Amino acid sequence: MTYLHSMQAETDGIRAILPAKWRSLDGIVGVHWEAEAQAGANGYYLSPDPRIVFFFNDVSSQIRVADRENQLGRNDRGMARAIYVPAGVPMWTRFSARHRFSHLDLHLHQDRLMRYLAPSLGASKARSTIKRPVEVQDVGPVAALSRLVVDELSTDTRHPLFAESLVGSIATALLDIPRDDEAIQSGRLTQAQMNRLTSHLATHGDQRITVAEMAEVVGLSESWFATVFRETTGKTPLQWQLSRRIDAAQDLLCNGSLTIADIAAQLGFSDQAHLTKVFRQVVGETPAAWRRSRVQS
Each residue's pLDDT, cut to its tens digit, for the chain (297 residues) gives 566 778 899 999 999 999 999 999 999 999 999 999 999 999 999 999 999 999 999 998 899 998 888 888 877 888 999 999 999 999 999 999 899 999 999 999 999 999 999 888 888 788 888 988 888 888 889 999 999 999 999 777 789 999 999 999 999 999 987 665 555 556 778 777 888 888 777 776 556 788 888 888 887 778 788 888 988 889 898 888 888 888 888 888 887 678 999 888 888 788 899 999 999 988 999 999 988 887 765
The amino acid that residue 249 corresponds to is A
Residue 236, number of CB atoms within 10 A of its CB: 13
Length of the chain: 297
Residue 175, number of CB atoms within 10 A of its CB: 18
CA 2 to chain centroid: 28
pLDDT of residue 116: 92
152 sits in which H/E element: helix 142-153
pLDDT of residue 217: 82
User: What per-residue string of b and e applies to 90-129 under the rule 16 or more CB within 10 Å gives b?
Assistant: ebbbbbbeebebbbbbbbbbbebbbebbeeebeeebbebb
How far is it, in rounded angstroms, from Cα 197 to Cα 145?
28
Beta-bridge mates of residue 154: none
pLDDT of residue 205: 58
Task: Could you list the beta-strand ranges (E) of 109-250.
Answer: 134-136
pLDDT of residue 184: 53
pLDDT of residue 68: 87
